[in-house]
Amino acid sequence: MDLVLLLQRIFDALFNSAIYSSLALALVIIFRSTGLLNFAQGEMATFTAYIAFVLLAGPQPRLTGGGLAGLIPGVPFSIPLAIFGAVLCGMAAGAMTERALIRPLGGASDVALVNITIGLLLATNSLMAQWWGTGPRFFPAIFPTGAGQHFTILGARLRYSTVGVWVILLSALILLVLLLRHTKTGLAFRAVSISPSNAELVGVRVGPTLMYGWAMASGFGALAACLSANSVLLEPNMMLRVLVYAFAAATLGGLDSPKGALLGGLIIGLSQTLIPAYVPFIGFELSVLPALVAMVVILLIRPAGLFGTQRIERI
Amino acid sequence: MVDDVFDEVGLKVEDLHASYGAVEVLRGLNFEVAAKGVSVILGANGAGKTTTLRAICNMCSTSGKVTLGEEDITRTGTAEIVRRGVAHVPQGRGTFPELSTMDNLMIGAYTRKDGEVRDDVERWFEIFPRLAERQDQLAGSLSGGEQQMLAVARALMCRPRLLLLDEPSLGLAPLIIEDLFERFGTLNKETGLTMLIVEQNANLALEMADYGYVIESGEITLSGSADQLRNDPAVQEAYLGA
Ligand SMILES: Nc1ncnc2c1ncn2[C@@H]1O[C@H](COP(=O)(O)OP(=O)(O)O)[C@@H](O)[C@H]1O
Ligand SMILES: [Mg+2]
């Protein structure tokens, strides 16, 4: 086996892994606090990538379809600033979704709420197609991507952009962990995740706390979309596939564990690249298969996922 | 309307109804808890004790009137009622099994803005040294007795005016129950904290309480001082195992 080639494949897989981990984190944050799987997470993320696009490009001829694009004054931002703005917009949109769509339906069953998020997926998708058209658009890269823009490690090329997305993802994750572990709001968030009714009995306002959760989750989603829009090209369905992999990653990791989401994203990303490369009868077209197999195997061994909470209870 | 039985009323409940769906569980309760006193509500399984405490905290759909001191809290939300000074140790204890002992105490102080939270934690660790030893352990891994201590300490971290306790003796060994009630008594005497305890276990509860009520099928059927209740033949037969 060619070790340099193996290393190269691992390096190449790391970029997608970071994107899957990021969106998986978004899913996990909401699942942990509300027990709800948000199927619209990917589309909400894509929407923020369009916002970054508008912030970058301003309303100019390439943006057909009018709508929102025409309303924003043409002050192009630098790429990092546009992505930052998009993440903030994404957080606000996440918070609004909780407040306007999820909280008023608090009495509804979980299945009904999941259906609501599927509705939101379709609505967001159509809205993007309406406003920005369905054609793919070039989205500039935040990190240099040209030839030669890489580190060389043991003969394999590790692209700057791969290192960059991991630095951003890990920084955001560290920020999240610090927030959860060391702030009062974080503690309240953890308490609400465990038991909303008990949290209310210590004076935590459950609704607003969940709203923060949706905001944080959508922030991670926005990062996933904005960081991958360059390599996959920006279009309304950009995150659909990624969402499926992120679901697999989150499930693998245990659905309620941020650590699990991170590792799940890595496992899915790596198996998606490595297994077709070394198992001859699985072509790249079938690259979703290894991810599925990895998921089933791990869930057979650990039904709660790699890091999922095995609920402890003692009377 | 009820006439005030006590000089100073900590909690007053008038014509309290509560239902789950179409089923009415509380059918017009009237009772009071003396400020700085300990009152107990006795009742068999299913009589409506838990629902009474939940109704006071607006955790189920209710009608009637609930007054805390001078404030009408009938329509106040649960989290806000906690902010007004009501601590509720619900059935099942209300602790967070997947948080550490320390985090459980800290979340108990969520509504506080003063700088003395750490001092209070230290105080509870002195009172319950076993909690201090297990401060980094997950609450779910504590023994039943330790969890009940944690539940009470957690509730008192918000420095309440009124403590509601839902069957604190449930699932605990007799010696531990005795110890726990002794601590409740001390707490009431030393700090003047108003308490409302609901119990099936009438012996210890009546020993500690000043005043008591008996609830049957969602109605108060008997009330009186703890001594009166203890000597009441019906109470003796139904709740004291005489
Ligand atoms: N969530 C609920 N939904 C429907 N009925 C309930 C619910 N909780 C309690 N009940 C019913 O209300 C009655 C009183 O219950 P509860 O207040 O828990 O009694 P206690 O605490 O005295 O044992 C019981 O008949 C019980 O079956
Ligand atoms: Mg009960």
The answer to whether A225 and A168 are in contact (CB under 8 A) is no
Cα dist. A187→A192, A193, B238 in Å? 9, 10, 44
pLDDT tens, residue by residue, B149-202? 999 999 999 999 999 999 999 888 888 899 889 989 998 999 899 999 999 888
Domains of chain B and any CATH numbers:
9-239 (3.40.50.300)
Q: State how far residue A32 is from chain B, nearest Cα, in angstroms.
A: 12
In contact, B126 and B87? CB cutoff 8 Å:
no
Distance B61 CA to ligand 2 centre (A): 17
**Which residue from B90, B110, B171 is facing A184, i.e. has the nearest CB?**
B110
ipTM above 0.90, yes or no: no
Nearest to A226 by CA among A74, A58, A89, A96: A89
CA distances to A188, A258, B3, B98 from A309, rounded to whole Å, are 18, 11, 52, 9
| B67 contact partners, CB below 8 Å, separation of at least 6 | B9, B11, B12, B13, B14, B73, B74
Q: Spell out which residues of chain B touch residue A310, defining contact as CB-CB under 8 Å.
A: none
| Measured distance CA(A261)–CA(A241) in Å, rounded | 17
A286 close to A276: Cβ distance less than 8 angstroms:
yes
Residue A228 has pLDDT above 80, yes or no: yes
Question: Average per-residue pLDDT in chain A?
Answer: 87
Amino acid letter, residue B70: E
Q: Ligand 1: does its nearest atom lie under 6 Å from the Cβ of B22?
A: no
Find the mean pLDDT for residues A211-237: 94
- What span, in angstroms and rounded, lies between the C-alpha atoms of A204 and A182? 17
Place of tokens 């009820």: B2
> Positive or negative, the Cα torsion across A31, A34, A39, A42?
negative
Q: Give kind and range of the element (H or E) at residue A260.
A: helix A258-278
Give pLDDT tens digits for A26-50: 999 999 888 889 999 999 999 999 9
Measured by CA distance, the residue closest to atom 2 of ligand 1 is B20
Q: Which phi and psi (to 5°) does residue B70 adopt?
A: -100, -10
Name the least confident of A86-100, A245-259, B90-104.
Answer: A245-259
Beta strands in B102-190 (DSSP E): 162-166
Q: Mean pLDDT over all residues of chain B?
A: 91
Asked if A181 and A189 count as a contact pair (C-beta separation under 8 A), the reply is no
List all residues 6 or more positions away from B122 whose beta carbon is below 8 Å from its beta carbon: none
Instruction: Give first-to-last CA distance, chain B, whole Å.
Output: 34
The lowest-confidence range among A96-100, A103-107, B57-61 is A103-107
* Calpha distance B198→B168 (Å, rounded): 8
What is the structure's pLDDT at A61? 39
Nearest to B198 by CA among B42, B20, B21: B42
**Residue A56 confidence (pLDDT) above 50:** yes
Put simply, the answer to whether B140 touches A198 (Cβ < 8 Å) is: no
pLDDT value of position A65: 45
Residues of B with Cβ-Cβ distance to A198 under 8 angstroms:
90, 94-96
In the chain, the amino acid numbered A98 is E
Backbone angles phi, psi at B72, to 5 degrees: -80, 115
Which is nearest to B147 in space by CA: B99, B111, B191? B99
pLDDT of residue B41: 96
Q: What does the block give as tokens for A278?
A: 């070394």
**Cβ-nearest to B90 among A184, A187, A201:** A201
Residue B3's pLDDT is 54
Beta pairing partners, B17: B27, B63
B7 pLDDT tier (thresholds 50, 70, 90) = low
Residues A285-307, mean pLDDT to the nearest whole number = 80
Computed on alpha carbons and rounded to an integer, the radius of gyration of chain B in Å comes to: 17
Q: Atom 1 in ligand 1: which residue has the minimum CA distance?
A: B20
Question: Mutual orientation of helices A160-182 and A206-232 as an angle, nearest 10°?
Answer: 180
pLDDT tens-digit map of B106-132: 999 999 999 999 999 999 999 899 999
Check whether A213 has a pLDDT greater than 50. yes
Residue B181's H or E segment, with its range, is helix B174-191
Check if the beta carbon of residue A17 is closer than 8 Å to that of residue A265. yes
Place of tokens 């009408």: B72
Give the β-pairing of B211-216 and B219-225: antiparallel
Q: Position of tokens 């969106």?
A: A23
Domain boundaries, chain A: 21-239
* pLDDT at residue A69 tops 70: no
In DSSP terms, B18 is beta-bridged to: B26, B62
Å from B93 to nearest chain A CA?
Answer: 9
Please identify, by atom number, the ligand 1 atom nearest to the C-alpha of residue B43.
22
Cα A165 off chain centre by: 12
Distance from the Cα of A242 to chain B's closest Cα (Å) equals: 31
Q: Say if residues B212 and B40 touch (Cβ distance below 8 Å).
A: yes
Query: Which pLDDT score, from 0 to 100, does residue A315 have?
Result: 38
Q: pLDDT (tens digit, 9 = 90+) per residue, B195-236?
A: 999 998 888 899 999 999 999 999 999 999 999 999 988 888
Q: Chain B residue with minimal CA distance to A310?
A: B98
